[in-house]
Structure 1
């Protein structure tokens, strides 16, 4: 990645931590799902008018020309024909849906944003009429403002010049809401060409009010490349136009991040999600037998580990495993009260497993879903000890192995503390036997640090620096 892209990721993550991020999605975000862009949407209509759509720059004007000649019904039907078919969210939609982003704005009519959020069990409050702004869906996780309408009401979609001219009067509350978000949130514009008259109108007024004190926003563009154009002349023209647009966007404090390929956008978003998730650590383990250590030393170690991780600004997710979870959580809570103003819920996700389900099949299925939910919120998983009593005998904890397999499936970075024995030792042996399956082999420092977690220590507290070193290396990947 370029230095500019790395810097953007750092700043984006910082704003994400503060709950300041908003997404503005244009047609380009949906196009890879199979939906047509504006030009292709209007092509058959332009053909009827004997216009060459490839020669037209004012696409809103083309829609208006068709309305003038044929009325609204055919335009609405064309919109339904092209967009009403349900399609699956793209990888970019899926990544965004997993991030703690609560505010989405879009000029798209499709339902990909709300579907991607619902797919990860988020409650979505969708707004595309004036009346929608006056009501609030209970316990909502995200708001999706569809400022140009929704495909289910294509007759009211903003499409033509008439629609755009009436917008500041008919939809003024949306302009007010977007203006407020542009002032208070950091926007990332994706798949947006910045040719929309409504957005230009709103941003011009925000600029007039705040002048040089506007909030910093970002957009990502694919850099013009020669292979995308039929001639050198067209390429040179597009390159000049892109440079001029980037300069013009700086007037509105929109910084442009350039990528060579569209797939680079997905890589940037994936990197953001991975780094964000790796600020949350899941502890898996259980203990009836604490050997080779004693119970008091293990509890003291776990308490200190929880406290140290919170001090280093990590978050904790735990199912509170038997014999180890309580001490770990206790230390984490102490860390929150000492270093983060006592906002426990911001740093701890405590999920004790539901024990009293008599039916074994139902209990196993409930625990499986529960594990996916708890582990899925984290980016790094620590595996410690892992034993239980079964028929009077101490055996390896199969639940810890299940959590290891789920964590690997969900893409978490794995930290088996081999020297703690039992299931953790078995898992450590497996990852060291197949390093390339679990880690990037080129990261020599990380593999060495994982290897050292198998070395015997006299006291468990000696593991603190080793585990923190592994986690810090993982969080920088």
Structure 2
């Protein structure tokens, strides 16, 4: 990863964690999904005007020309939007990655619904704003607001697309201008797929720059480094390259840091790294015990309580389903440490999901538990497995629930860390991992010796605390 992109990952991750991050998506973010760009969208319009779309550089004016020639009738332009963007396509990997992060503010000039679809697919509530009147309403329990400042494909007649629309924008959509101006002041944006040729955004950025001068908040913008196209002459390519460099230099006036990539996949890699590092701060603890041999219940409970305290003290967020016999001890130790740190924002440190028990039908209960596990395990980046036994007609057996949690964690790319020294299912999982680590692609091979070490029997469970701490610190740094 390039140095400047790595610095972006570090900086933007901090903003995500502080809940100060925002995203601005341009047309280039939707093209990989199969949608057309503006030039393709307006090709039918150009054809009706007997113009060659390849020779047109001012596409806003092109849309205006058609409306003028139609007696101010927008039907063809609106139909072009519907035909181009009304298809059912799937969000890109970038949309999915952004939706996984706790980002509450999205802006876009796109008419499509890719980002709000991705947010909903993550089980989140998206509050969509594509008209001024909607800004006055707040959707209950929303997780993210999607501001579609140029309209929505479902309402093409209201889309901002002609010269007349842009010229009147400050009057017809002044509330959007004020809202975006406020977000640019208080949040750190990353611009993806945006060319910075939009006059509305240029006006808003200029207002912020004039007001704050040398105190503007820093933002980031991805650009693909200009490459020579097959039909281009050397002179045309040189002109385009120089122009891109001048545009990037000009963005410094707005404190926007340009990030040049050779391939769009580098943007995906950067977002993947942000998601990975964000999730690495949440550790899913899978544990249960009905019997506590050879240490005894008191020592096992003390160990789990100390483990919970240690995880919170190391700035991990603990996710757990309060496993039978030991889960409450983990929760108690975690909660005590939250209060000791004088930080009463419990939800920022603990994700507690007790399993519902009173479902009479066994099939329905198992289905509910499966959905439940799939709902919260993927929110973590690391999965720690401890003990794992239960009684079946007074016979001690391995916990099949822990086995399922291991499988779900593996499917979702969590770093798997079974502590075999605690025995039972955890030992079974550690042996499986050690014998065939290649079966688990998300497991870093350099962790194998540490997992082997944590599988050796111990007389005192407290001997495991420091090795677990060292292992988790190692994983988070990687």
TM over 0.5: yes
Could you tell which deviates more after superposition, 227-236 or 461-470?
A: 227-236
Unaligned runs of 5+ in 1: none
Partner Cα separation in structure 1 for residue 426 and residue 300 of structure 2:
14
- Name the structure 2 match of 1:267: 269
Partner Cα separation in structure 1 for residue 259 and residue 281 of structure 2:
25
- Name the structure 1 match of 2:21: 21
Deviations 1:23-73 (A, max 9, x none): 111111111111100111112222332333223222111111222222311
- Name the structure 2 match of 1:37: 37
Partner Cα separation in structure 2 for residue 298 and residue 32 of structure 1:
52
Per the TM alignment, residue 293 of structure 1 is displaced from its structure 2 partner at its CA by: 2.0
Secondary structure of the 2:33 match is coil
Could you tell which deviates more after superposition, 85-94 or 191-200?
A: 85-94
Partner Cα separation in structure 2 for residue 98 and residue 249 of structure 1:
29
Per the TM alignment, residue 440 of structure 1 is displaced from its structure 2 partner at its CA by: 6.6
- Name the structure 2 match of 1:239: 241
Secondary structure of the 1:125 match is strand
Partner Cα separation in structure 1 for residue 224 and residue 475 of structure 2:
29
Partner Cα separation in structure 2 for residue 238 and residue 228 of structure 1:
14
Secondary structure of the 1:108 match is coil
Please tell me whether the aligned partners of residues 292 and 421 of structure 1 are also in contact (alpha carbons under 8 angstroms).
no
Partner Cα separation in structure 1 for residue 94 and residue 167 of structure 2:
32
Q: Where do 1:287-326 residues align within 5 Å? A: 287-326=289-328
- Name the structure 2 match of 1:352: 354
Please tell me whether the aligned partners of residues 282 and 379 of structure 2 are also in contact (alpha carbons under 8 angstroms).
yes
Please tell me whether the aligned partners of residues 93 and 112 of structure 1 are also in contact (alpha carbons under 8 angstroms).
yes
Partner Cα separation in structure 2 for residue 144 and residue 244 of structure 1:
31
Secondary structure of the 1:77 match is helix
- Name the structure 2 match of 1:54: 54
Per the TM alignment, residue 459 of structure 1 is displaced from its structure 2 partner at its CA by: 1.1
Is 1:468 paired with 2:469? yes
Please tell me whether the aligned partners of residues 107 and 148 of structure 1 are also in contact (alpha carbons under 8 angstroms).
yes
Please tell me whether the aligned partners of residues 386 and 400 of structure 1 are also in contact (alpha carbons under 8 angstroms).
yes
Unaligned runs of 5+ in 2: none
Partner Cα separation in structure 1 for residue 341 and residue 273 of structure 2:
28
Please tell me whether the aligned partners of residues 128 and 147 of structure 1 are also in contact (alpha carbons under 8 angstroms).
yes
- Name the structure 2 match of 1:134: 136
Partner Cα separation in structure 1 for residue 246 and residue 88 of structure 2:
37
Please tell me whether the aligned partners of residues 279 and 379 of structure 1 are also in contact (alpha carbons under 8 angstroms).
yes
Secondary structure of the 1:389 match is strand
Q: 1:475 to 1:231 in 2, by over 3 A?
A: farther
Partner Cα separation in structure 2 for residue 227 and residue 203 of structure 1:
31
Is 1:196 paired with 2:198? yes
- Name the structure 1 match of 2:65: 65
Secondary structure of the 1:143 match is strand
Secondary structure of the 1:401 match is helix
Please tell me whether the aligned partners of residues 287 and 386 of structure 2 are also in contact (alpha carbons under 8 angstroms).
yes
Per the TM alignment, residue 415 of structure 1 is displaced from its structure 2 partner at its CA by: 0.5
Secondary structure of the 2:138 match is coil
Could you tell which deviates more after superposition, 155-164 or 266-275?
A: 266-275
Per the TM alignment, residue 437 of structure 1 is displaced from its structure 2 partner at its CA by: 2.5
- Name the structure 1 match of 2:454: 453
Partner Cα separation in structure 1 for residue 234 and residue 276 of structure 2:
39
- Name the structure 1 match of 2:379: 377
Q: 1:227 to 1:58 in 2, by over 3 A?
A: closer
* Number of aligned residues: 476
Please tell me whether the aligned partners of residues 25 and 106 of structure 1 are also in contact (alpha carbons under 8 angstroms).
yes
- Name the structure 1 match of 2:93: 91
Partner Cα separation in structure 2 for residue 169 and residue 122 of structure 1:
33
Q: Where do 1:324-473 residues align within 5 Å? A: 324-339=326-341, 341-438=343-440, 443-444=445-446, 446-473=447-474
Secondary structure of the 1:313 match is coil
Q: 1:443 to 1:408 in 2, by over 3 A?
A: closer
Per the TM alignment, residue 414 of structure 1 is displaced from its structure 2 partner at its CA by: 0.4
Partner Cα separation in structure 1 for residue 248 and residue 28 of structure 2:
17
Please tell me whether the aligned partners of residues 132 and 175 of structure 2 are also in contact (alpha carbons under 8 angstroms).
yes
Per the TM alignment, residue 443 of structure 1 is displaced from its structure 2 partner at its CA by: 4.7
Per the TM alignment, residue 340 of structure 1 is displaced from its structure 2 partner at its CA by: 5.0
Please tell me whether the aligned partners of residues 318 and 351 of structure 1 are also in contact (alpha carbons under 8 angstroms).
yes
Please tell me whether the aligned partners of residues 413 and 442 of structure 2 are also in contact (alpha carbons under 8 angstroms).
no
Per the TM alignment, residue 75 of structure 1 is displaced from its structure 2 partner at its CA by: 0.8
Per the TM alignment, residue 436 of structure 1 is displaced from its structure 2 partner at its CA by: 2.2
Secondary structure of the 1:455 match is coil
Partner Cα separation in structure 1 for residue 442 and residue 354 of structure 2:
33
Secondary structure of the 2:30 match is helix
Is 1:4 paired with 2:4? yes
Could you tell which deviates more after superposition, 366-375 or 222-231?
A: 222-231
Per the TM alignment, residue 208 of structure 1 is displaced from its structure 2 partner at its CA by: 0.4
- Name the structure 1 match of 2:117: 115
- Name the structure 1 match of 2:106: 104
